[in-house]
C-alpha cells in the first residue's frame, strides 16, 4: 500500500513526510488516493502532518465525507475545541446502540413489577485479539465522554498535540504504568488514542498525591496540570465517578431481601440458619411486627455462589457433603421451593456456580440447574446484571447485581484498602468501583471475555443500589447517593477464607424498604 500511495503522490506532484504517510496508511488505498487528490487542489507541494492540523476547515470543505473527516481528526489528535462535533456524534452513536441493546434485552415481567434491564446472553463467538482491542477502545471512548462533561476538565487536548513549550494541559488518558520514584513522587505513564506521555505527581501536593497513590493500571482518568510533550506535572486527577441526582422509591409498601454465598453442598453450609430465614420469610417465626415485615418482602436477590460447586479449588472434595453439582442445585431447589410463591427470586452466578469463571458470566443454565428452572418464581440473570423494580409507569429502583470476583484485587492493589482492613468493610471496595465507573478496572482483576463491542463491566447508568457479595460479610454504605449493599453468607469460615483474610459474618440479611428507603439487617445466626 505504501508504494501505491507514493506513486500516486508523484503523479500529483506532491511530497509527503513520514508522519503524513503513516496517517494515510490508516485508510484503504481508494480513500487515501481520494484524500491526496482533493488536497492537491490546494496547490501545496509538500504535505506534512501540521499542514492537516492547520488547515482543518479547508480540508473539511474539500473532503465532504464526514466519516473520513472524523477519522482524520482522531488520528491527528486534534484538541477538544476542534473536534467537539466528533465526540458529540460518537456519544449519540453509543447511546443509540446501548438503547437498542436495552430494548432487545429488557423483559417486562407480569409478576411483581419486575424488569430485567440488562442480563448478558451466553455468547459463543470466537474471541480474538481484535476483540480485546475493541473492548479497551470502547471503554476509553465512553469514559472520555463521561469525563469531558466534568467542569474541572476544561480545554482538553490530545496527547499528540502537547507541544515542546510549557503550557496548561488537560487530558483524558488510560494508565499504562505506575511507579514511585526514589524521591517518593508518583510517576505515571499514560496514553490516549494519539500517544503516550509521562505524568509526575509531586509528593508535596498532598491532595492530588493521595489520589495518585490509589491509581491503578488501566484506570481511565482526567489529568489537569502543566508541562510539555516530555512530562506533565499534575495539579488534579479526576475520576469518571458516579453521581445520583435523585433517589428513587416506589409507591408500594414492599421489601427486598439481599443474600448470597449460600454454598449448598459445602460441609460448612449453615443449613439450620438458612431454614430459619426461610421460615421467617414465610411468616412462621418472630413477633407480630417481624411477621408483618416478612410478608412485605416481595423480592429475594441471590448474588452469586448459591452452591459450593465441584472442582473449584484443589482438595475441595474433602469439604463437600454433596459431590455432584446437579445434586447441589437440586438441594438448593428444595430450599427455594419452600419459600412462598409471591416472592420473586432473582439469581446471578458467582465463581462457584456452574458457569464459566470469566466475566461477564452468563446466567446459570438448564444443563446443571434444571430443577431450579421448574420453579416459576425464580429468574436467572448474568453476573453482572441490572434489574428494576418498577413504579406505576415511572422509573423504579434500579439494582446492579455483581458477585464481586474483582474485590480482592482492589484490596491487594490499593494501600488504603489493604491497611484499612477492607475485608471487614467491603463497601469501601465498592466505593472504589463506583469512583472508577467500572467493576474490574485492572486488566488482571478478573478473567474476562470481551463478548461484544461494549465493555460489559463498565457502570454506564448510575444505579440506585449496587449489591455485591464474595466477602461473606454484610455492609451498608452510601456513595454520592448510590446505596451500597454487601451481602452476607450462609457458610462458616473455610480454610481458603482464613488464607486470604476474609472474616465472614454469616446469616445476616439486609432488608430494604422500597417505599421509605429504610434498610435494616436481620440476624439469623442464632439457634
CATH number reported for the structural domain that contains residue 276 in this entry: 3.60.21.50
Query: What is the three-state SS of 298-328?
Result: EEEEEECCCECCCCCCCCHHHHECCCCHHHH
Q: What angle is formed at CA 118 by the lines to CA 116 and CA 124, rounded to 5 degrees?
A: 120
| 185 band by pLDDT with thresholds 50, 70 and 90 | very high
Do 299 and 433 fall into the same domain? yes
For the residues 213-224, what does the mean pLDDT come to? 96
Do 232 and 274 fall into the same domain? no
Q: Is the pLDDT of residue 76 over 80?
A: no
Helices of type H across 64-165: 66-76, 80-105, 129-147
Do 468 and 336 fall into the same domain? yes
pLDDT (tens digit per residue) in 475-490: 999 999 999 999 999 9
Do 35 and 166 fall into the same domain? no
The 10 Å Cβ neighbour count of residue 173 is 27
Q: Is the pLDDT of residue 46 over 80?
A: no
**Of 16, 4, 490, 23, residue with least CA distance to 259:** 490
Query: What is the three-state SS of 408-452?
Result: HHHHHHCHHHHHCCCCCCCHHHHHHHHHHCECCCCCCCCCECCCC
Do 227 and 259 fall into the same domain? no
Considering the chain, what percentage of its residues have pLDDT values greater than 90? 58
| 269 band by pLDDT with thresholds 50, 70 and 90 | very high
Long-range pairs for 410-419 at CB < 8 Å and ≥24 separation? Answer: 410/216, 410/445, 413/216, 413/442, 414/214, 414/216, 415/213, 415/214, 416/213, 416/214
Q: Determine, yes or no, domain membership for 134.
A: no
For the residues 213-218, what does the mean pLDDT come to? 95
Do 230 and 288 fall into the same domain? no
Cβ partners under 8 Å of residue 408, min gap 6: 470, 500
Q: Determine, yes or no, domain membership for 138.
A: no
For the residues 351-373, what does the mean pLDDT come to? 94
At residue 152, the pLDDT reads 86
pLDDT (tens digit per residue) in 78-120: 433 334 444 455 556 666 665 655 555 444 444 458 889 988 8
Query: In the chain, how many domains are there?
Result: 3
Q: What is the pTM of this model?
A: 0.80
Concatenate the DSSP letters of all residues of 333-365 into one string. Answer: HHHHHTS-TTSEEEEE--TTSSS-SSBSBPPPP
Q: Determine, yes or no, domain membership for 223.
A: yes
Q: Judging by DSSP bridges, how do beta strands 231-238 and 46-47 pair with one another?
A: unpaired
Q: What is the CATH number of the domain that holds 199?
A: 2.40.50.140
Average pLDDT over all residues of the chain: 86
Query: What is the three-state SS of 389-402?
Result: EEECCEEEEEEEEC
- The Cα–Cα gap between 70 and 80 comes to 13
Q: Considering only the C-alpha atoms of the chain, give the largest distance between any 2 of them, rounded to a whole number of Å.
A: 92
At residue 53, the pLDDT reads 61
Q: Is the pLDDT of residue 241 over 50?
A: yes
Q: Is the pLDDT of residue 334 over 90?
A: yes
Lowest-pLDDT range, 101-115, 225-239, 276-290, 345-359?
101-115
At residue 30, the pLDDT reads 79
Residue 25 vs residue 170, higher pLDDT = 170
Q: Which domain, by its residues, includes 503?
A: 255-523
The domain boundary residue, chosen from 24, 56, 73: 73
At residue 93, the pLDDT reads 61
Amino acid at each position: 500500500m505504501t508504494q501505491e500511495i507514493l506513486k500516486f503522490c508523484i503523479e500529483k506532484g506532491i511530497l509527503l513526510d513520514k508522519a503524513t504517510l503513516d496517517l494515510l496508511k490508516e485508510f484503504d488505498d481508494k480513500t487515501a488516493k481520494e484524500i491526496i487528490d482533493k488536497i492537491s487542489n490546494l496547490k501545496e507541494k509538500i504535505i506534512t502532518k501540521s499542514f492537516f492540523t492547520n488547515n482543518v476547515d479547508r480540508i473539511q470543505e474539500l473532503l465532504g465525507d464526514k466519516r473520513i473527516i472524523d477519522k482524520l481528526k482522531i488520528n491527528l489528535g486534534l484538541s477538544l475545541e476542534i473536534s467537539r462535533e466528533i465526540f458529540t456524534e460518537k456519544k449519540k452513536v453509543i447511546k443509540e446502540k446501548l438503547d437498542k441493546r436495552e430494548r432487545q434485552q429488557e423483559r417486562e415481567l407480569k409478576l411483581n413489577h419486575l424488569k430485567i434491564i440488562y442480563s448478558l446472553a451466553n455468547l459463543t463467538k470466537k474471541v480474538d485479539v481484535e476483540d480485546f482491542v475493541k473492548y479497551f477502545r470502547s471503554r476509553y471512548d465512553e469514559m472520555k465522554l463521561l469525563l469531558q462533561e466534568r467542569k474541572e476538565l476544561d480545554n482538553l487536548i490530545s496527547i499528540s498535540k502537547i507541544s515542546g513549550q510549557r503550557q496548561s494541559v488537560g487530558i483524558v488518558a488510560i494508565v499504562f504504568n505506575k511507579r514511585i520514584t526514589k524521591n517518593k513522587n508518583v510517576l505515571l505513564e499514560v496514553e490516549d488514542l494519539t500517544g503516550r506521555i509521562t505524568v509526575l505527581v509531586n509528593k508535596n501536593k498532598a491532595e492530588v498525591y493521595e489520589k495518585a497513590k490509589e491509581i491503578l493500571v488501566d484506570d481511565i482518568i482526567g489529568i489537569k496540570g502543566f508541562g510539555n510533550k516530555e512530562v506533565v506535572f499534575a495539579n488534579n486527577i479526576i475520576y469518571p465517578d458516579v453521581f445520583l441526582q435523585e433517589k428513587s422509591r416506589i409507591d408500594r409498601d414492599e421489601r427486598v431481601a439481599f443474600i448470597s454465598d449460600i454454598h449448598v453442598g459445602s460441609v460448612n453450609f449453615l443449613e439450620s440458619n438458612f431454614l430459619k430465614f426461610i421460615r421467617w420469610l414465610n411468616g412462621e417465626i418472630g413477633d407480630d411486627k417481624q411477621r408483618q415485615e416478612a410478608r412485605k418482602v416481595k423480592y429475594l436477590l441471590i448474588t452469586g455462589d448459591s452452591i459450593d460447586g465441584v472442582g473449584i479449588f484443589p482438595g475441595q472434595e474433602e469439604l463437600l457433603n454433596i459431590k455432584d453439582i446437579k445434586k447441589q442445585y437440586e438441594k438448593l431447589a428444595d430450599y427455594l421451593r419452600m419459600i412462598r410463591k409471591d416472592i420473586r427470586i432473582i439469581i446471578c452466578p458467582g465463581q462457584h456456580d456452574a458457569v464459566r469463571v470469566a466475566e461477564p458470566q452468563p446466567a446459570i443454565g438448564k444443563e446443571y440447574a434444571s430443577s431450579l428452572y421448574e420453579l416459576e418464581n425464580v429468574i436467572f440473570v448474568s453476573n453482572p446484571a441490572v434489574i428494576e423494580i418498577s413504579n406505576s409507569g415511572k422509573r423504579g429502583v434500579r439494582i446492579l447485581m455483581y458477585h464481586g470476583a474483582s474485590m480482592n484485587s482492589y484490596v491487594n492493589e490499593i494501600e488504603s484498602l489493604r491497611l484499612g482492613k477492607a475485608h471487614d468493610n467491603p463497601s469501601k471496595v465498592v466505593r472504589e468501583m463506583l469512583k472508577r465507573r467500572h467493576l474490574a478496572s485492572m486488566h488482571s482483576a478478573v478473567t474476562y471475555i470481551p463478548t461484544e463491542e461494549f465493555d460489559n463491566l463498565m457502570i454506564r447508568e448510575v444505579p440506585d443500589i449496587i449489591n455485591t457479595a464474595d466477602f461473606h460479610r454484610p455492609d451498608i454504605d452510601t456513595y454520592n447517593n448510590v446505596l451500597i449493599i454487601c451481602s452476607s453468607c450462609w457458610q462458616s469460615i473455610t480454610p481458603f477464607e482464613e488464607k486470604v483474610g476474609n472474616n465472614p459474618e454469616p446469616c445476616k440479611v439486609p432488608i430494604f424498604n422500597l417505599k421509605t428507603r429504610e434498610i435494616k439487617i436481620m440476624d439469623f445466626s442464632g439457634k
